[in-house]
Every structure is written in structure tokens, then in C-alpha cells.
Structure 1
Amino acid sequence: MTQDAAPDSAPTHATPERRAIRSFVKRTGRTTAGQTKALNELGPRFLVPYQSSPLDFAAAFQQPQSPQPLVLEIGFGMGEATAHIAALLPDTHFLCCEVHDPGVGALLKRMGEQDLKNIRICAHDAVEVIDHMLPLQCLDGVHIFFPDPWHKARHNKRRLIQSPLIAKLAARIKVGGYIHCATDWQEYAEQILQVLSAEPLLKNTALATHPELLGYAPKPHYRPLTKFENRGLKLGHGVWDIVFERV
């Protein structure tokens, strides 16, 4: 996932058109037969098309009664953690953004196997979804797990978690809601902590509850240890959870 620089001005005839801000890099990958079947059979029910107007959440989740808590997830990969959390929190609705077709198919496949009905997927750039489909203070939480760290310094500007995006998200989280980021790259964890700490609408509650962790949070109970993460921990790699509350 990346976030390219925004255009400074409208293109002219003398300069090539620049790409708009994006929250991702479109990866290539093979979609398996099972993923394709899930896309075809479950996609019409659980995929939410991108639109340039606010999303009707009750209609999207087919629950017109009292609204359920709503969590936005940006970039769910192959959907392992997403399915686990949705099963653990069946009364919470999850709107999940991912543009990688095999990942979308994989999560749909998990949803079918586990009979999960509280997930909706928007296979579109999360920045545009936030800008156009999410009204202010509509979210109870935001999950961003293991975004691409862009290791090389010259590529750091492509990182997803930067001040402009966090400001957009903070404005759309309800007071008392949260944003939860996790990364296995220490330098990126330090940047995430710095960016979230600089957002005036967010507060780091871990500073008061777990001062020994220096601003990082204990892993929340709902986030599972994925196979990839377990492998990294066995090799001595660290994982950092950063959880801030909307004030």
C-alpha cells in the first residue's frame, strides 16, 4: 500500500498528467479457482461498489434496525485477520478496502466457509472511499495492519500512514472510537507513533495505562497472530501495536 504525492496543479499540455493520491500499489497475483468461485458467487452479495456519495450503511449491511458499531479496515491482504476478528465480534460491522483481487477472493472464500455476514468489501482505493463514502464521525474504529513499510528512505513518502490521511480518518471516527495500527518494522512503528501523536483529535491512551511500553500498546485481544507474524516472532522480529482514541 502506498500514498503517492498529490498533484501540485492541474496538468498542462506541456507536462504529463500525474497520478492522484492512492493508498496502494496494484500487485499482480494469480487468483485461484476457489477465490474466483467466491468472487462470482459471494461477490454480488458482499462487495460494495465504490460511489462518490455517502454510503447507506444500513442498506449495505442489510440491517435497517439499530445501527451496529462500524470498523473500517484498510488493506486486509488475504483476509486471515479480518475473518478472525469478524467472527470474534459478530455484532460489529466491518467495511474493508483492498484492491488485490486474490486477497478479495480469499476473504470472500473465508466468509463463505465461516458463514460470516458482518463484512463488506470495497475493492477500491481507500483514500477515495474515505473522501466520498464516509461522512464525519461515522466510524467506531479503524484497523490498519502491517501496511507496506517501504524500507528505503527515498520511498518513505509512499507510506500510507502520514498526517493528511490520519487527519481524514480522525475526522470520521466517533468520539471515543479508536484507530489501531500494527507493523513489524520498527522504524515505521516510530513514524506511525509520531504521526498519530501529532493529530490533535487523537489521544494515546497507552501512555497512561502502560507507560513502560513508551507509547505502544499491548496487542488487543481481537487481533490474531497470523502465520506470517508467528514466523517473524520465532526469528526474533518485533511487532508494534499503536492504538489511539478519538477525543
Structure 2
Amino acid sequence: GQIEKHGLTNLRIIPHDAKLVLQQMFTSESLDGIHIFFPDPWPKARHHKRRLIQPDFVSLLCDRLKPGGYLHIATDWEDYATHILHVLRNEKRLINTATDYAARPAYRPLTKFEQRGMKLGHTIRDIIFTKIA
């Protein structure tokens, strides 16, 4: 509804598996930026393998980003934020735009997951890396 309300024409919603969409619908170096806001943290240790932010997925994201493009991830789970930082720091094509966590950019919408996390007293973390040109 917000897309229509604001007359946005430069984005699309694709209700499908993100990995398959990136693999099959986007070519290398075709995206200026990627936003992943509040992915499922899979908090139990035995489920961590199900987390979206894993080295192989980040490698795919980097392939699809243009040089100078950015990857912005937000989470309210401290353990997941630490994991995300570790994975992104180990991707040689990415560089952090902050020392650790970035300030919340004004463009990032307030999501229902963020609101829930704030009510629970969770710290919201924004992690923004750019692809090395």
C-alpha cells in the first residue's frame, strides 16, 4: 500500500525465496543496494544453520551488487547482529561503513518486528557495508 501511496516506481515486491530470486532474476552487478530488515534470527543454537545471513548467501549478494553498492541489514537480536558482523567482515568484497554498527538511517522504515523488539527492550542494530569498487 505504501508503494502506491507514494507513487514509487523503482521497487518491486517478489513474494518468493530470496536466494532463488537473486540467482534466477538478477544478473551480476545489477543492484545498487540491498535491504534486509529483521530477518528471522533463529535464536536456538541448533537452528542457526537456518539463518539467512550465511557466507554463501552473502557471496551471492556481493555478486549481485554493483561496485560501490551497499548491503543494509537491521536486526534486534544481539547474537544475530554479532553473527552478521562476523560474516560480512569475512567477505573480502565488502567494507563496513561504520566501526561496528551504523546509526539508523532516516530512510529505514519502522517495521512491526522493530516495534516488537523495542517493546521487549532489544537494541536495534543497523549494519551497512559497501561493495569495494
- The Cα shift of 1:221 comes to 1.6
Residue 114 of structure 2 aligns to a residue whose secondary structure is helix
Query: Which residue does the alignment assign to 1:189?
Result: 81
Choose from 44, 59, 84 the match for 1:152. 44
Choose from 103, 112, 132 the match for 2:24. 132
Distance 1:145 1:202 in 2: 18
Q: Is residue 171–residue 201 contact of structure 1 (8 Å, CA) maintained in 2?
A: no
Larger radius of gyration: 1
Q: Deviations over 1:98-146 (max 9, x none)?
A: xxxxxxxxxxx34344443333222221111111211111110000000
Q: Structure 1 residue runs of 4+, over 2 Å off? A: 109-119, 224-236
Q: Deviations over 1:143-197 (max 9, x none)?
A: 0000000111000000000000000110111111100000000000000000000
Choose from 205, 218, 221 the match for 2:106. 221
Question: Quick one: which amino acid aligns to residue 233 of structure 1?
Answer: M
Are residue 204 (structure 1) and residue 96 (structure 2) matched?
yes
**Identity across matched positions, percent:** 55
Residue 120 of structure 1 aligns to a residue whose secondary structure is coil
Distance 1:219 1:232 in 2: 15
Query: Which residue does the alignment assign to 1:169?
Result: 61
Distance 1:122 1:224 in 2: 18
- Matches for 1:110-125 after TM superposition, within 5 Å: 110-125=2-17
Q: Deviations over 1:216-245 (max 9, x none)?
A: 111112013335424533542211110001
Query: Which residue does the alignment assign to 1:211?
Result: none
Question: Quick one: which amino acid aligns to residue 35 of structure 2?
Answer: H
Question: Quick one: which amino acid aligns to residue 204 of structure 1?
Answer: N
Unaligned runs of 5+ residues in structure 2 are none
The structure with the largest strand share of the pair is 2
The 1:158/1:217 distance shift into structure 2, 3 A limit, reads same
- Matches for 1:1-247 after TM superposition, within 5 Å: 109-207=1-99, 215-247=100-132
Question: Quick one: which amino acid aligns to residue 130 of structure 1?
Answer: L
Unaligned runs of 5+ residues in structure 1 are 1-108, 208-214
Distance 1:177 1:129 in 2: 18
Residue 206 of structure 1 aligns to a residue whose secondary structure is coil
Q: TM-score, normalised by structure 2?
A: 0.90
* CA RMSD after TM alignment: 1.7
Distance 2:116 2:16 in 1: 30
Question: Quick one: which amino acid aligns to residue 158 of structure 1?
Answer: R
In the comparison of the two structures, how many residue pairs are matched?
132
Name which of structure 1's ranges 121-130 and 170-179 shifts more when overlaid on structure 2.
121-130
Distance 1:164 1:112 in 2: 34
The 1:158/1:227 distance shift into structure 2, 3 A limit, reads closer
Higher relative contact order (CA 8 A, sep 6+): 2
